[in-house]
Amino acid sequence: MSSKKMGRPPSDKPKNKTIEIRVDQETMSKLDASAEKLNTSRSAIVRKGIEKVYDELQK
């Protein structure tokens, strides 16, 4: 038998940090609508937003 583990291969950039934020219902609704329209997760939307703000600041 092989000693390799089954499952997903390890990620080059593991997502092992967690943040928690408080938002109002309107913001949560916008986040959910965006995630649904883009067929992605809330986390992906937040990461995309962080990248967008960071890129703007670098200009």
CA–CA separation, 4 and 34 (whole Å): 39
According to the model, what pLDDT value does residue 30 have? 98
Tokens standing for 44? 């992906």
How far is the CA of 22 from the CAs of 10, 37, 45, in angstroms? 31, 22, 16
Tokens encoding 59: 């200009």
Instruction: Encode pLDDT of 16-56 as tens digits.
Output: 899 999 999 999 999 999 999 999 999 999 999 999 999 99
pLDDT, residue 34, reads: 97
Confidence of residue 2 (pLDDT cuts 50, 70, 90): low
- Rounded CA-CA distance 8/55 in Å is 31
Say what the pLDDT of residue 44 is: 96
